[in-house]
Amino acid sequence: ADTLAALREAQARGAKVLGITNVVGSTIARESDGGVYIHAGAEIGVASTKAFTSQVTVLCLLALILGRMKHLSAQYGIKFLKEIKRIPQKIEKVLNLNEEIERIAAT
């Protein structure tokens, strides 16, 4: 509800709104001036980590595009994209630390 209220307030003040959403046809998708569907799939837990991670990734890519428009070097852009592509492997590495995390938490 807070996000939708912010969207409407921004539009009332003349801003164009880009919605980044996981749900095709959602209120935010319908009311935004443009949008990106992240297609992260259904969330199992309450935390919405897949959608959040996907939305942050979209924002990073948007920042990269805007940066390139403002003379961000191609070399930096390539480095940035390589790091974005490594996110799944980094997440997998953290998920494989479950036993280590449990051991540390128990101390």
The whole-number average pLDDT for the span 34-61 is 89
Measured distance CA(82)–CA(42) in Å, rounded = 27
pTM beyond 0.85: the answer is: no
Residue 7, token pair as written in the block: 């969207």
Structure tokens at 27: 């209120």
What is residue 72's three-state secondary structure? Answer: coil
What are the residue ranges of helices labelled H in the chain? 2-12, 27-31, 49-69, 74-85, 87-95, 98-106
Summarize pLDDT for 55-102 with one digit per residue, the tens.
999 999 999 999 999 999 999 999 999 999 999 999 899 989 999 999
**Helices 74-85, 87-95: crossing angle, 10 deg rounding:** 30
